[in-house]
Amino acid sequence: MRQKLRMNKIAGLTLLFCSLMLPALAQNNFKFQAALHKADSAGFYRISLQPALVAKARADLSDVRIADAKGKFVPYIQAGSLPQKNQKSFVVFNPVAARLTTDTGTTYIVENKTGLGLDRLWIKLQNTAVQRKVNLMGSDDLQQWFAIQEEIPLQEAVQNSEGTYMQSLSFPASNYRYLKILVNDKNKTPIKFLQAGIYTEYAATMAYSPIPDVKFSRADSNKTTYISIKLNDNYQVNKLHLNISAPKYFKRNITVYQIIGHYKEAVTETELNSAKNDDLLFAAKARELLLQIENGDNQPLTISSLNAYQTDQYLISYLDSKQSYHLLAGDSTVQAPEYDLKFFADSIKDNSPTISHDAVVKNDVPAAVQPAAGRDYTAFIWIAIIIAAGLLLFLTLKMTKEVGKKTDGDA
Protein backbone atom coordinates (compact mmCIF):
# COMPACT_ATOMS: atom_id res chain seq x y z
CA MET A 1 0.00 0.00 0.00
CA ARG A 2 2.86 2.34 0.91
CA GLN A 3 4.56 1.52 -2.39
CA LYS A 4 1.38 2.39 -4.28
CA LEU A 5 1.00 5.74 -2.48
CA ARG A 6 4.62 6.61 -3.23
CA MET A 7 4.09 5.63 -6.83
CA ASN A 8 0.99 7.85 -7.14
CA LYS A 9 2.88 10.76 -5.58
CA ILE A 10 5.75 10.47 -8.06
CA ALA A 11 3.30 10.17 -10.96
CA GLY A 12 1.44 13.27 -9.80
CA LEU A 13 4.65 15.30 -9.49
CA THR A 14 5.77 14.16 -12.93
CA LEU A 15 2.48 15.13 -14.53
CA LEU A 16 2.56 18.50 -12.76
CA PHE A 17 6.08 19.15 -14.00
CA CYS A 18 5.11 18.27 -17.58
CA SER A 19 1.96 20.43 -17.44
CA LEU A 20 4.05 23.42 -16.35
CA MET A 21 6.79 22.94 -18.91
CA LEU A 22 4.86 21.95 -22.04
CA PRO A 23 3.02 25.30 -22.49
CA ALA A 24 6.37 27.06 -22.33
CA LEU A 25 7.83 24.66 -24.89
CA ALA A 26 4.81 25.18 -27.15
CA GLN A 27 5.41 28.93 -27.02
CA ASN A 28 9.09 28.47 -27.80
CA ASN A 29 8.23 26.94 -31.21
CA PHE A 30 7.06 30.39 -32.33
CA LYS A 31 10.02 32.38 -33.59
CA PHE A 32 8.62 35.85 -32.92
CA GLN A 33 6.52 37.68 -30.37
CA ALA A 34 5.11 41.15 -29.72
CA ALA A 35 3.61 42.46 -26.49
CA LEU A 36 0.00 43.61 -26.71
CA HIS A 37 -0.96 47.01 -25.41
CA LYS A 38 -2.84 46.99 -22.12
CA ALA A 39 -6.63 46.65 -22.22
CA ASP A 40 -8.45 49.44 -20.38
CA SER A 41 -11.24 47.15 -19.18
CA ALA A 42 -12.42 43.59 -19.70
CA GLY A 43 -14.19 43.03 -23.01
CA PHE A 44 -13.80 42.36 -26.71
CA TYR A 45 -11.01 44.18 -28.54
CA ARG A 46 -9.94 44.56 -32.16
CA ILE A 47 -6.24 43.76 -32.25
CA SER A 48 -4.49 45.56 -35.10
CA LEU A 49 -1.74 43.45 -36.68
CA GLN A 50 1.03 45.68 -37.97
CA PRO A 51 2.90 44.83 -41.21
CA ALA A 52 6.01 43.88 -39.22
CA LEU A 53 4.13 41.07 -37.46
CA VAL A 54 2.18 39.90 -40.53
CA ALA A 55 5.54 39.62 -42.32
CA LYS A 56 6.63 36.99 -39.79
CA ALA A 57 3.40 34.97 -40.12
CA ARG A 58 1.85 32.90 -42.87
CA ALA A 59 -0.26 34.64 -45.47
CA ASP A 60 -3.47 33.28 -43.90
CA LEU A 61 -2.30 34.15 -40.33
CA SER A 62 -2.92 30.55 -39.26
CA ASP A 63 0.23 30.54 -37.09
CA VAL A 64 -0.68 33.67 -35.11
CA ARG A 65 -1.61 33.11 -31.46
CA ILE A 66 -2.57 35.28 -28.51
CA ALA A 67 -0.99 34.11 -25.25
CA ASP A 68 -1.42 35.31 -21.69
CA ALA A 69 1.33 35.68 -19.10
CA LYS A 70 1.07 31.98 -18.19
CA GLY A 71 1.53 30.88 -21.78
CA LYS A 72 -2.08 29.79 -22.32
CA PHE A 73 -3.55 30.56 -25.74
CA VAL A 74 -6.50 32.94 -25.83
CA PRO A 75 -9.36 32.34 -28.35
CA TYR A 76 -9.85 34.83 -31.19
CA ILE A 77 -11.55 35.23 -34.54
CA GLN A 78 -10.48 37.30 -37.52
CA ALA A 79 -12.41 40.53 -37.92
CA GLY A 80 -13.72 39.47 -41.33
CA SER A 81 -15.74 36.71 -39.67
CA LEU A 82 -18.07 39.17 -37.96
CA PRO A 83 -21.61 39.17 -39.38
CA GLN A 84 -22.78 42.42 -41.00
CA LYS A 85 -25.89 44.00 -39.52
CA ASN A 86 -27.08 46.02 -42.54
CA GLN A 87 -28.44 43.48 -45.00
CA LYS A 88 -29.54 46.27 -47.41
CA SER A 89 -25.93 47.00 -48.33
CA PHE A 90 -25.30 43.44 -49.51
CA VAL A 91 -24.51 43.15 -53.24
CA VAL A 92 -24.93 39.67 -54.74
CA PHE A 93 -22.32 38.70 -57.33
CA ASN A 94 -23.64 37.05 -60.48
CA PRO A 95 -22.83 33.32 -60.50
CA VAL A 96 -20.89 32.31 -63.61
CA ALA A 97 -20.65 28.58 -62.99
CA ALA A 98 -21.40 26.07 -60.27
CA ARG A 99 -20.34 22.46 -60.69
CA LEU A 100 -20.80 19.65 -58.25
CA THR A 101 -18.07 17.28 -57.22
CA THR A 102 -15.56 16.55 -59.98
CA ASP A 103 -12.12 15.01 -59.90
CA THR A 104 -10.94 18.02 -57.90
CA GLY A 105 -14.03 19.11 -55.97
CA THR A 106 -17.06 21.39 -56.04
CA THR A 107 -16.51 24.75 -57.76
CA TYR A 108 -18.49 27.99 -57.50
CA ILE A 109 -17.52 30.97 -59.71
CA VAL A 110 -18.90 34.50 -59.35
CA GLU A 111 -18.26 37.80 -61.13
CA ASN A 112 -17.25 40.97 -59.30
CA LYS A 113 -18.59 43.81 -61.46
CA THR A 114 -18.06 46.45 -58.78
CA GLY A 115 -14.38 46.90 -59.63
CA LEU A 116 -13.63 47.24 -55.92
CA GLY A 117 -10.59 45.68 -54.34
CA LEU A 118 -11.76 43.01 -51.90
CA ASP A 119 -10.19 41.27 -48.95
CA ARG A 120 -13.22 39.17 -48.04
CA LEU A 121 -16.22 37.54 -49.67
CA TRP A 122 -19.46 36.58 -47.94
CA ILE A 123 -21.02 33.32 -49.05
CA LYS A 124 -24.50 32.02 -48.28
CA LEU A 125 -24.76 28.28 -47.77
CA GLN A 126 -27.47 25.76 -47.12
CA ASN A 127 -27.19 24.66 -43.50
CA THR A 128 -24.55 22.00 -43.05
CA ALA A 129 -22.59 20.55 -40.15
CA VAL A 130 -19.74 19.03 -42.17
CA GLN A 131 -16.15 20.21 -42.15
CA ARG A 132 -14.67 21.34 -45.46
CA LYS A 133 -11.82 23.55 -46.64
CA VAL A 134 -11.84 25.72 -49.75
CA ASN A 135 -9.29 27.30 -52.08
CA LEU A 136 -9.97 30.76 -53.51
CA MET A 137 -8.68 31.78 -56.95
CA GLY A 138 -9.01 34.86 -59.12
CA SER A 139 -9.10 35.55 -62.86
CA ASP A 140 -9.80 38.40 -65.26
CA ASP A 141 -10.66 36.22 -68.28
CA LEU A 142 -11.99 32.89 -66.88
CA GLN A 143 -9.01 31.21 -68.55
CA GLN A 144 -5.95 31.85 -66.42
CA TRP A 145 -6.49 31.49 -62.68
CA PHE A 146 -4.25 32.76 -59.88
CA ALA A 147 -4.16 31.51 -56.29
CA ILE A 148 -5.45 33.97 -53.66
CA GLN A 149 -5.88 31.87 -50.54
CA GLU A 150 -5.73 28.15 -49.80
CA GLU A 151 -7.11 25.86 -47.12
CA ILE A 152 -9.77 28.26 -45.82
CA PRO A 153 -11.98 26.35 -43.34
CA LEU A 154 -15.74 26.52 -43.83
CA GLN A 155 -17.63 27.02 -40.60
CA GLU A 156 -20.44 24.78 -39.47
CA ALA A 157 -23.91 26.31 -39.45
CA VAL A 158 -25.03 27.96 -36.22
CA GLN A 159 -28.39 26.94 -34.81
CA ASN A 160 -31.20 28.80 -36.61
CA SER A 161 -34.57 28.19 -38.19
CA GLU A 162 -33.82 29.76 -41.58
CA GLY A 163 -32.08 26.76 -43.10
CA THR A 164 -29.21 28.92 -44.41
CA TYR A 165 -26.23 30.75 -42.96
CA MET A 166 -23.59 33.29 -44.00
CA GLN A 167 -19.84 32.95 -43.75
CA SER A 168 -17.05 35.36 -44.55
CA LEU A 169 -13.95 34.22 -46.44
CA SER A 170 -11.03 36.45 -45.50
CA PHE A 171 -8.08 36.75 -47.89
CA PRO A 172 -5.37 39.17 -49.08
CA ALA A 173 -6.85 42.11 -51.02
CA SER A 174 -7.40 41.47 -54.74
CA ASN A 175 -9.36 43.07 -57.58
CA TYR A 176 -9.92 40.11 -59.91
CA ARG A 177 -13.11 40.24 -61.96
CA TYR A 178 -13.90 36.57 -61.34
CA LEU A 179 -13.55 34.60 -58.12
CA LYS A 180 -13.58 30.82 -57.97
CA ILE A 181 -14.28 28.86 -54.80
CA LEU A 182 -12.98 25.29 -54.98
CA VAL A 183 -14.18 23.00 -52.18
CA ASN A 184 -11.87 20.18 -51.18
CA ASP A 185 -14.64 17.58 -51.15
CA LYS A 186 -13.42 15.03 -53.67
CA ASN A 187 -15.38 11.76 -53.31
CA LYS A 188 -17.60 13.39 -50.67
CA THR A 189 -21.16 14.71 -50.73
CA PRO A 190 -21.04 18.33 -51.97
CA ILE A 191 -22.25 21.36 -50.04
CA LYS A 192 -24.75 23.79 -51.58
CA PHE A 193 -23.80 27.40 -52.41
CA LEU A 194 -26.71 29.84 -52.60
CA GLN A 195 -25.09 33.27 -52.99
CA ALA A 196 -21.82 35.14 -52.81
CA GLY A 197 -21.25 38.86 -52.55
CA ILE A 198 -20.00 41.81 -50.51
CA TYR A 199 -21.26 44.48 -48.17
CA THR A 200 -20.56 47.69 -50.07
CA GLU A 201 -20.27 49.84 -46.95
CA TYR A 202 -17.40 47.67 -45.75
CA ALA A 203 -15.64 47.44 -49.11
CA ALA A 204 -15.75 51.21 -49.58
CA THR A 205 -13.94 51.79 -46.29
CA MET A 206 -11.09 49.31 -46.78
CA ALA A 207 -8.00 50.71 -45.08
CA TYR A 208 -4.31 50.08 -45.61
CA SER A 209 -1.11 50.32 -43.57
CA PRO A 210 2.10 51.53 -45.25
CA ILE A 211 5.04 49.15 -45.61
CA PRO A 212 8.29 50.85 -44.58
CA ASP A 213 11.61 51.16 -46.43
CA VAL A 214 10.43 50.32 -49.95
CA LYS A 215 13.25 50.52 -52.51
CA PHE A 216 12.81 50.26 -56.28
CA SER A 217 14.89 50.44 -59.43
CA ARG A 218 13.95 50.41 -63.11
CA ALA A 219 15.29 49.20 -66.42
CA ASP A 220 13.90 50.01 -69.90
CA SER A 221 14.46 47.40 -72.59
CA ASN A 222 12.82 46.41 -75.88
CA LYS A 223 9.58 48.40 -75.44
CA THR A 224 9.23 47.10 -71.89
CA THR A 225 9.93 48.67 -68.52
CA TYR A 226 10.95 46.45 -65.60
CA ILE A 227 10.63 47.80 -62.06
CA SER A 228 12.28 45.80 -59.29
CA ILE A 229 10.88 46.40 -55.79
CA LYS A 230 12.92 45.36 -52.75
CA LEU A 231 11.47 45.03 -49.24
CA ASN A 232 13.41 44.42 -46.05
CA ASP A 233 11.15 41.56 -44.91
CA ASN A 234 8.64 39.03 -46.23
CA TYR A 235 5.79 41.57 -46.17
CA GLN A 236 2.18 40.99 -47.18
CA VAL A 237 1.63 43.44 -50.05
CA ASN A 238 -1.93 44.25 -51.14
CA LYS A 239 -1.55 47.61 -52.84
CA LEU A 240 1.10 49.48 -54.81
CA HIS A 241 0.69 53.17 -55.55
CA LEU A 242 2.71 54.46 -58.49
CA ASN A 243 3.18 58.22 -58.74
CA ILE A 244 3.32 58.66 -62.54
CA SER A 245 4.26 62.20 -63.57
CA ALA A 246 4.46 61.72 -67.36
CA PRO A 247 3.06 61.40 -69.94
CA LYS A 248 -0.32 63.01 -69.32
CA TYR A 249 -2.27 60.27 -71.13
CA PHE A 250 -1.34 56.60 -71.01
CA LYS A 251 -2.82 53.12 -71.00
CA ARG A 252 -0.30 50.32 -70.48
CA ASN A 253 -0.63 46.62 -69.66
CA ILE A 254 1.25 45.60 -66.56
CA THR A 255 2.06 42.26 -64.92
CA VAL A 256 3.03 41.99 -61.26
CA TYR A 257 5.32 39.13 -60.23
CA GLN A 258 6.42 38.02 -56.79
CA ILE A 259 9.98 36.69 -56.68
CA ILE A 260 10.46 33.51 -54.67
CA GLY A 261 14.02 32.23 -54.75
CA HIS A 262 15.10 32.03 -58.37
CA TYR A 263 11.53 31.94 -59.69
CA LYS A 264 8.97 34.60 -60.48
CA GLU A 265 5.24 34.00 -60.10
CA ALA A 266 2.60 36.22 -61.71
CA VAL A 267 0.11 37.50 -59.14
CA THR A 268 -1.96 39.82 -61.33
CA GLU A 269 -2.28 41.16 -64.88
CA THR A 270 -4.01 44.53 -65.21
CA GLU A 271 -3.47 47.97 -66.73
CA LEU A 272 -2.19 51.40 -65.80
CA ASN A 273 -4.61 54.03 -67.07
CA SER A 274 -4.38 57.82 -66.73
CA ALA A 275 -8.19 57.92 -66.49
CA LYS A 276 -8.05 55.89 -63.25
CA ASN A 277 -5.97 56.05 -60.10
CA ASP A 278 -2.53 54.50 -60.18
CA ASP A 279 -3.20 51.86 -57.52
CA LEU A 280 -2.47 48.19 -58.18
CA LEU A 281 -4.47 45.79 -55.98
CA PHE A 282 -3.33 42.19 -55.62
CA ALA A 283 -2.08 39.69 -53.05
CA ALA A 284 1.60 38.81 -52.67
CA LYS A 285 3.87 37.86 -49.79
CA ALA A 286 7.52 38.26 -50.66
CA ARG A 287 10.67 40.29 -50.18
CA GLU A 288 10.87 41.19 -53.84
CA LEU A 289 8.35 42.12 -56.54
CA LEU A 290 8.80 42.75 -60.24
CA LEU A 291 6.59 44.98 -62.40
CA GLN A 292 6.60 44.44 -66.17
CA ILE A 293 5.08 47.36 -68.09
CA GLU A 294 4.41 47.00 -71.82
CA ASN A 295 5.12 50.35 -73.50
CA GLY A 296 4.61 49.39 -77.14
CA ASP A 297 5.86 52.30 -79.28
CA ASN A 298 5.36 54.81 -76.48
CA GLN A 299 7.96 56.47 -74.29
CA PRO A 300 8.42 54.77 -70.89
CA LEU A 301 6.38 56.10 -68.00
CA THR A 302 8.05 58.54 -65.61
CA ILE A 303 7.56 57.11 -62.10
CA SER A 304 8.65 59.59 -59.46
CA SER A 305 7.90 57.43 -56.42
CA LEU A 306 6.34 54.13 -55.38
CA ASN A 307 4.59 53.12 -52.16
CA ALA A 308 3.53 49.68 -50.88
CA TYR A 309 0.67 48.89 -48.51
CA GLN A 310 -0.91 46.01 -46.59
CA THR A 311 -4.63 45.81 -45.93
CA ASP A 312 -5.39 46.37 -42.26
CA GLN A 313 -5.63 43.04 -40.45
CA TYR A 314 -7.46 42.56 -37.15
CA LEU A 315 -8.05 39.80 -34.65
CA ILE A 316 -10.95 40.02 -32.20
CA SER A 317 -10.54 38.55 -28.74
CA TYR A 318 -11.90 38.91 -25.21
CA LEU A 319 -9.16 40.45 -23.04
CA ASP A 320 -8.94 41.03 -19.30
CA SER A 321 -7.55 44.35 -18.09
CA LYS A 322 -5.78 42.54 -15.21
CA GLN A 323 -3.84 40.30 -17.60
CA SER A 324 -0.90 40.95 -19.88
CA TYR A 325 -0.87 39.36 -23.35
CA HIS A 326 1.48 38.93 -26.25
CA LEU A 327 1.20 37.80 -29.86
CA LEU A 328 3.14 34.85 -31.22
CA ALA A 329 3.96 34.06 -34.86
CA GLY A 330 6.39 32.13 -37.01
CA ASP A 331 5.70 28.44 -36.30
CA SER A 332 5.59 26.52 -39.59
CA THR A 333 4.36 23.32 -37.90
CA VAL A 334 1.06 24.47 -36.35
CA GLN A 335 -2.41 24.20 -37.85
CA ALA A 336 -5.02 26.95 -37.90
CA PRO A 337 -6.74 27.11 -34.48
CA GLU A 338 -10.37 26.10 -34.04
CA TYR A 339 -11.97 28.14 -31.26
CA ASP A 340 -15.58 28.02 -30.01
CA LEU A 341 -15.64 31.82 -30.19
CA LYS A 342 -16.57 31.65 -33.89
CA PHE A 343 -20.04 30.40 -32.88
CA PHE A 344 -20.63 33.54 -30.80
CA ALA A 345 -19.66 36.17 -33.36
CA ASP A 346 -23.16 37.66 -33.09
CA SER A 347 -22.35 38.70 -29.52
CA ILE A 348 -19.44 40.91 -30.58
CA LYS A 349 -20.21 44.58 -31.22
CA ASP A 350 -18.98 46.34 -34.33
CA ASN A 351 -17.53 49.22 -32.31
CA SER A 352 -15.15 47.20 -30.15
CA PRO A 353 -12.12 49.30 -29.13
CA THR A 354 -8.89 48.80 -31.07
CA ILE A 355 -5.46 48.11 -29.58
CA SER A 356 -2.16 47.36 -31.25
CA HIS A 357 1.14 45.79 -30.21
CA ASP A 358 4.75 46.71 -29.54
CA ALA A 359 7.68 46.00 -31.82
CA VAL A 360 8.19 42.44 -33.02
CA VAL A 361 11.14 40.68 -31.38
CA LYS A 362 12.66 37.22 -31.55
CA ASN A 363 11.04 34.73 -29.22
CA ASP A 364 14.35 33.31 -27.93
CA VAL A 365 12.75 32.13 -24.69
CA PRO A 366 9.11 31.95 -23.56
CA ALA A 367 8.04 35.19 -21.90
CA ALA A 368 6.28 33.32 -19.09
CA VAL A 369 9.44 31.47 -17.95
CA GLN A 370 12.24 33.87 -18.88
CA PRO A 371 15.54 32.93 -17.19
CA ALA A 372 17.73 35.70 -15.82
CA ALA A 373 20.82 34.72 -17.79
CA GLY A 374 18.98 34.95 -21.13
CA ARG A 375 20.03 31.43 -22.22
CA ASP A 376 17.78 28.98 -24.04
CA TYR A 377 17.03 26.12 -21.63
CA THR A 378 14.72 24.21 -23.99
CA ALA A 379 17.10 21.26 -24.35
CA PHE A 380 17.55 20.97 -20.58
CA ILE A 381 13.78 21.07 -20.05
CA TRP A 382 13.27 18.26 -22.55
CA ILE A 383 16.02 16.21 -20.90
CA ALA A 384 14.34 16.72 -17.52
CA ILE A 385 10.98 15.61 -18.92
CA ILE A 386 12.53 12.51 -20.49
CA ILE A 387 14.30 11.62 -17.23
CA ALA A 388 11.08 12.11 -15.24
CA ALA A 389 9.11 9.99 -17.72
CA GLY A 390 11.80 7.31 -17.61
CA LEU A 391 11.74 7.28 -13.82
CA LEU A 392 7.98 6.97 -13.86
CA LEU A 393 8.17 4.04 -16.30
CA PHE A 394 10.87 2.33 -14.23
CA LEU A 395 8.86 2.59 -11.01
CA THR A 396 5.72 1.41 -12.80
CA LEU A 397 7.48 -1.69 -14.11
CA LYS A 398 9.04 -2.33 -10.72
CA MET A 399 5.71 -2.02 -8.96
CA THR A 400 4.05 -4.29 -11.51
CA LYS A 401 6.75 -6.93 -10.98
CA GLU A 402 6.40 -6.76 -7.18
CA VAL A 403 2.62 -7.05 -7.41
CA GLY A 404 3.07 -10.05 -9.70
CA LYS A 405 5.44 -11.73 -7.24
CA LYS A 406 3.05 -11.11 -4.36
CA THR A 407 0.17 -12.59 -6.39
CA ASP A 408 2.24 -15.71 -7.18
CA GLY A 409 3.20 -16.07 -3.49
CA ASP A 410 -0.40 -15.84 -2.36
CA ALA A 411 -1.32 -18.49 -4.89
- Of residues 125, 190, 173, 170, the one with CA closest to residue 336: 170
227 neighbors 216 (Cβ within 8 angstroms) = yes
* 132 shares a domain with 107: yes
Is residue 370 over pLDDT 50?
A: no
In a domain, 32, yes or no: no
* 188 shares a domain with 145: yes
For 124, 134, 143, the CA distances from 104, given in Å and listed in that order, are: 22, 11, 17
Q: What percent of the chain has pLDDT over 90?
A: 33
* 200 shares a domain with 240: no
pLDDT confidence band for 392 (50 / 70 / 90):
low
Domain count, the chain: 2
Residues 50-86 have pLDDT tens digits of 999 999 998 888 899 999 998 899 999 887 655 555 5
- Of residues 46, 74, 65, 37, the one with CA closest to residue 316: 46
* 255 shares a domain with 192: no
The residues with which 164 forms a beta bridge, in sequence order, are 126
* Range 358-375 average pLDDT: 62
In a domain, 300, yes or no: yes
Rounded Cα gap, residues 98 and 190, in angstroms: 11
- Of residues 343, 367, 400, the one with CA closest to residue 27: 367
Out of 208, 230, 250, a domain closes at 208
* 203 shares a domain with 98: yes
For 253, 273, 280, 287, the CA distances from 306, given in Å and listed in that order, are: 18, 16, 11, 15
CA Rg, the chain, in Å? 27
CATH code, domain with 280: 2.60.120.260
Find the domain containing 301 and state its range.
209-311
pLDDT at 62: 87
- Of residues 298, 357, 345, 382, the one with CA closest to residue 21: 382
Is residue 120 over pLDDT 50?
A: yes
pLDDT at 252: 94
pLDDT at 236: 92
* 198 shares a domain with 94: yes
Higher pLDDT, 33 or 186: 33
In a domain, 58, yes or no: no
In a domain, 165, yes or no: yes
In a domain, 379, yes or no: no
Q: Which of 2-11, 191-200, 248-257, 401-410 has the lowest mean pLDDT?
A: 2-11
* 274 shares a domain with 165: no
In a domain, 102, yes or no: yes
* Range 343-359 average pLDDT: 82
In a domain, 74, yes or no: no
* 220 shares a domain with 172: no
* 227 shares a domain with 285: yes
* 204 shares a domain with 94: yes
Q: Which of 11-15, 214-218, 310-314 has the lowest mean pLDDT?
A: 11-15
* 281 shares a domain with 180: no
Where b means 16+ CB within 10 Å and e means fewer, 148-167 reads: bbeebbbbebeeeeeeebbb
* Range 385-401 average pLDDT: 67
316 neighbors 77 (Cβ within 8 angstroms) = yes
SS3 state at 76: coil
311 neighbors 51 (Cβ within 8 angstroms) = no
Rounded Cα gap, residues 335 and 338, in angstroms: 9
- Of residues 309, 259, 327, the one with CA closest to residue 53: 327
- Of residues 276, 200, 201, 205, the one with CA closest to residue 241: 276
In a domain, 282, yes or no: yes
Which segments within 140-262 are labelled E, that is strand?
146-153, 164-174, 178-183, 193-199, 208-210, 215-221, 224-246, 251-260
pLDDT confidence band for 366 (50 / 70 / 90):
very low
Higher pLDDT, 77 or 408: 77
* 156 shares a domain with 232: no
Residue type, 64: V
Number of other CB atoms surrounding residue 251 within 10 Å: 12
Segment of 105-114, 153-162, 185-194, 326-335 carrying the highest mean pLDDT = 326-335
pLDDT at 75: 94
Out of 174, 208, 242, a domain closes at 208
Out of 290, 311, 332, a domain closes at 311
Rounded Cα gap, residues 231 and 285, in angstroms: 10
Residues 123-174 have pLDDT tens digits of 888 877 677 888 898 888 888 888 888 888 777 655 555 677 778 887 777 7
Rounded Cα gap, residues 212 and 207, in angstroms: 16
